[in-house]
Amino acid sequence: MVPRRRGYLAAASLAAALCVEFVDELADGTKGAALPLISGQLHLTYGQIGLLIGLPLVLGGLIELPLGLVAGHGRRRSRLVLAGGAVVLASLAAVAFADSFGVLMLAFVLFFPASGAFVSLTEAALMDADPARQQQRMAAWNLAGSSGAVAGPLLLAAVLAVGGSWRACYLVLAVGAGVAVVAAAWAGPARTKLHGAAGASARATGASTSASTAETKADQPASLREALRALRTGDTARWLVLLQVSDLLLDVLTGFVGVYLVDVAHAGPALAAIGVAIRLGAGLLGDAVFVFLSGRVSARVVLRASSIAAGLLFPAFLIAPWLPAKLAILAALSVATACWYPVLQAGLYGSVPGRSGIAVFWSSAAGIAGATGPLAVGFVAARFGLTPALACLAVAPAALFFLS
C-alpha cells in the first residue's frame, strides 16, 4: 500500500505542477494574440506595446528576485506558491477591467512576480523531487506549457466567435488560475515534497518532533554568498546567458507575432490570432518530439542542429512575400526552436544540484536583463519599422551555435 500511495502522490504532484504551468502559458499565449485588439481599443503605440511586453519583466523581475533565496524548500515555499497563485488570479481579472494603458501596465507588472512565486517555485520543487530526471521532467513541463500557449489564441478566437471580447477572455483566464491554485493547494510538488519529507523523518525517528526539525531544516533559505559562488564556480553563468539569448526567438518573437501579422502581413485580427496559434501549435509539436528524444540525444547536438535550422528559417520568415508562406516558415521555425528552453533550463538546474532556489534567483536576475529585448524591439520598431526591429533577433541562433 505504501509504494502505491507514493506513486499516487507522485502522479498527483506532477499533474498539479503541469496544471500550474498550463494555466500560466495559457495566459501568455492569450496575451500575444490579444495585443492587436488591446492596442486598437486602448490606442497604444509601438513604444507602449514594447513597454507592455518588456517593462513588466523588469519591474516584476526586481520584485521576484529574492524569491529563490528566501523560499527555502518547506512550508515557506508552499505558502509563497499559493500566495503567488492568488495574485495571478487577481491580476488577470484586473486586465479584464483595465480602461487605460496605466491600469493595464500595473496589472501586467503584478502578474510577473506573482507568476514567479506560483510557477517558478513550483518548477523548482518539481526539479528537486527527482534530480536524476530533470531534463525529462523539463521536457514534460515544457510540453504542458506549450499546450497552454497553443490553447490561449484558440481560446481568444472561440470567445470572439461567440460574440465576446478580449476582456471576457481574461475573465475566463482568471477562472482557470483559480483552478490551478486549488490544484497546487491539494497536491502541488511544493506541498507534496513537504509532507513527504516530514513523513520520512517521522518514520526514521519515530517522533513528530524530529519530523518538525527536518521540516525546519528543509525550510532554510539559500544565501546570497551561495548564489554568487555558484555563478563563479560552475556553468551557471553560461546557461543563464544562453537562456536569455534564446528567448529572443521564443517569447520575444511570440509577443510581437500577432502585431507583425496585422501591421506587416496585413492579416485581420482573427487571422492573426490563428497565426499565433500556428506558431504555438508547431512549438507544441516540437515539444512532443523532444519529449521522445530527451535522454537519447546529447544537449550539445540538439542545440547546434536547431540553431542552424533557426538561422536559416528566421530570415526566410521575414522576407517571404505571401502570408501562407510566412505561416509555413514560422511553423517550421517553431518546431526547430522547441528544444531550447527545456535543454537550457535543465542545464541551469543541473549546474546547482540540490539548490534549485539559486537557479530561480539567477533566472529572475537574468530575466531583468533579458527584458531589454522586447523594449528594444518596440522602440526600434517605432523609429525604423517592425521588420527591421525583428531582424535584430537573428543574433539568437548564432549565439546558441557558438556558445553551446
CA distance 176 to 173: 5
Q: Which domain holds residue 165?
A: 2-403
Residue 115 burial (CB count, 10 A): 24
CA distance 268 to 323: 11
**pLDDT at 201 (0 to 100):** 38
**pLDDT at 21 (0 to 100):** 93
| Residue 344 · residue 142 · CB < 8 Å | no
Share the mean pLDDT of the chain: 82
Residue 320 burial (CB count, 10 A): 16
CATH number of the structural domain spanning residue 141 = 1.20.1250.20
Low-confidence ranges of the chain (pLDDT < 70): 1-8, 70-74, 188, 190-223, 233-234
Contacts of 397 (CB under 8 A, 6+ apart): 249, 307, 308, 310, 311, 314
What is the per-residue pLDDT across 267-308, written as a single tens digit (0 to 9) for each? 887 788 788 878 878 988 998 888 887 777 777 888 899 999
CA distance 75 to 73: 7
Radius of gyration of the chain (CA): 21
End-to-end CA distance of the chain: 46
Q: Which residue has the cell 542552424?
A: 308
**pLDDT at 113 (0 to 100):** 83
Is the pTM of the predicted complex or chain greater than 0.85? no
Grid cell listed for 295 = 535522454
**pLDDT at 363 (0 to 100):** 80
Q: Each residue of 211-237: b (16+ CB within 10 Å) or e?
A: beebbeebbebbeeebbeebbeebebe
The total of structural domains in the chain comes to 1
CA distance 379 to 394: 17
What is the per-residue pLDDT across 17-57, written as a single tens digit (0 to 9) for each? 899 999 998 998 898 788 889 888 888 887 888 788 777 87
